Amino acid sequence: MKIIAVMICLIGCVLIYCSHRNQNLLKQHLPKKYAVTGLFLLIISVVLLFYSVPKLVAIYMWSMTLIAVWSLIPFVALFKKNTPHETSASTKNST
């Protein structure tokens, strides 16, 4: 049950991150309904953690998952293949 709760928390964090306008993981940010879904998943995960572990441990696991995911997700964009934004055949002036 603990692993499921942490995975739900991870998915919720990713959905909230990807729905923000300043994210750099996707080309366009996700609609706000995904942020609400992510928030709902975070609430479900903390409730599942409350039922599976002691309350203090549940809050600690939940907050550490949030901190770790939101700290490391921006670095995932560094591993993406670098594609140029503009494609041009040549930059030289042919005069």
Q: For residue 55, is it within any domain?
A: yes
> How confident is the prediction along the chain (95 residues), in pLDDT tens digits per residue?
889 999 999 999 999 999 988 888 888 888 889 999 999 999 999 999 999 999 999 999 999 999 999 999 888 878 776 656 555 555 555 55
State the sign of the Cα–Cα–Cα–Cα dihedral 25, 18, 45, 55: positive
Distance in angstroms (rounded) separating the CA atoms of residues 32 and 38: 10
Look at the chain and report how many structural domains it folds into: 1
Instruction: Tell me if 93 is assigned to some domain.
Output: no
Convert the chain into a string of H (helix), E (strand) and C (coil).
CHHHHHHHHHHHHHHHHHCCCCCCCCCCCCCHHHHHHHHHHHHHHHHHHHHHCCHHHHHHHHHHHHHHHHHHHHHHHHHCCCCCCCCCCCCCCCC
pTM, to two decimals: 0.76
* Structural domain includes residue 19: yes
Q: Which domain holds residue 18?
A: 2-72
